[in-house]
Amino acid sequence: MDIQNDSVVSIDYTLKGDAGDVIDSSEGREPLFYLHGHGQIVPGLEEALVGKRENDEVSVSVPAEKGYGPRDPQRVFQVPRDKMPADLELEAGVMLQMQTPDGGAVPLLVTEVLPDAVTVDANHMLAGATLHFQVTVRGVREATAAELSHGHVHGPGGSHD
């Protein structure tokens, strides 16, 4: 079966940066399962997998625009120090979470600590980066009706195990 929208796909992958450094990999873990065409992996990788079959190998470089997007300078901002918990020890490199009005969470990277403010970056850590994927397709099957209605994979065979 070819990968197409509404397919359940399992892949082994390695993601590298421009310098060849491994950013993420499924090596030593179960394959990644996802529902194709539902935005569960970056668009550029999803596009590269259309029409592929079990055991196909794909090597693709995904530009930022089809990965995690370009870096947005407006997502780097300062938070007044008095808006932070007083007992929070802050230093550059610390990850925080900001709660959104709808109850979601946005990760923030502290980039600078000033006497009266903290500079944080809400960009995805891979925003602006070209993503270099090496992928092996491990399986492709039709999604079950339940998976399609729920919008996610229910396991290798289509059911919750």
Q: 43-97 pLDDT, tens per residue?
A: 999 999 999 999 999 999 999 999 999 999 999 999 999 998 888 889 999 999 9
Q: Report angle CA 16, 8, 3 to the nearest 5 degrees.
A: 75
Closest alpha carbon to 135 in 65, 64, 41, 21? 41
Q: Is the pLDDT of residue 161 over 60?
A: no
The residue-averaged pLDDT of 91-112 equals: 93
Q: Is the pLDDT of residue 155 over 80?
A: no
Q: Is the pLDDT of residue 160 over 90?
A: no
Q: Is the domain of 12 the same as that of 63?
A: yes
> Residue 101: which domain range?
73-121
Q: Is the pLDDT of residue 158 over 80?
A: no
- Give me the pLDDT at residue 87, please: 87
How far CA 29 is from CA of 9, 11, 15, 156, 160, in Å, comes to 16, 11, 14, 14, 19
Q: Is the domain of 55 the same as that of 17?
A: yes
Q: Is the pLDDT of residue 107 over 80?
A: yes
The count of structural domains within the chain is: 2
Mean pLDDT, all residues of the chain:
94
Domain-located, residue 161: no
The H or E element spanning position 48 is helix 43-49
Q: Is the pLDDT of residue 149 over 80?
A: yes
Q: Is the domain of 21 the same as that of 95?
A: no
Q: Is the domain of 131 the same as that of 117?
A: no
